[in-house]
Amino acid sequence: MARNVEIKARVQDLARLAAVTASFADTGPVDIFQDDTFFACPSGRLKLRAFSDGTGELIFYRRPDQAGPKESFYVRTPTSEPDGLREALNLAYGTVGRVVKHRVLYIAGRTRIHLDEVRGLGAFLELEVVLRDDEGRDDGTREAAQLMERLAIDAAQLVEVAYVDLLKQRSELRSAEQCSLSRQI
């Protein structure tokens, strides 16, 4: 199973981050529109990612929910039929959430740098430091920390959970606020 060390951070100024990232990235920017559907999965997370060109990939991953750099184990399988696969997976496992985003991808060395605009959530930065099979998590953690410093990302900006969890939290908060308002009327 492939592994990486990743961080996710809430950011304010994607244009500033794009300019800084472009100054040292090996490749990019690449614009990617992604529609991720998450399915019930007791042993990790299972999502189908559909791209605007009609292709997609099924991704299983497992990682802890924590604010700092975290190791993620993942398997990616491409598909040319994401809509049919989404329907089959929904019938088999049930859909637990959907995340639609515009991602700008840069690559610096072995690190994928994502500048994300997530529908319903706002702007984020993700770093994914790809690990070699013989490499420990600490090497990736150090590299992520160096990039965070270079991009002026503070620990207070780090996010513990996946976008789908943030959307769920936001939805639950809105539901609670609506219930509170209806009781006051």
Domain count, the chain: 1
The predicted pLDDT at position 100 comes to 97
Sign of the dihedral defined by the CA atoms of residues 17, 23, 27, 31, in that order: positive
Q: What is the DSSP letter of 158?
A: B
When pLDDT is cut at 50, 70 and 90, the band that residue 173 belongs to is low
Sign of the dihedral defined by the CA atoms of residues 100, 49, 65, 157, in that order: negative
When pLDDT is cut at 50, 70 and 90, the band that residue 29 belongs to is very high
- CA–CA dist 114, 44 (Å, integer): 22
**CA distances to 15, 114, 148, 183 from 48, in Å:** 28, 18, 28, 39
CATH number at residue 162: 2.40.320.10
**Which range, of 65-69, 99-103, 115-119, averages the lowest pLDDT?**
65-69
Name the residue range of residue 115's domain: 2-184
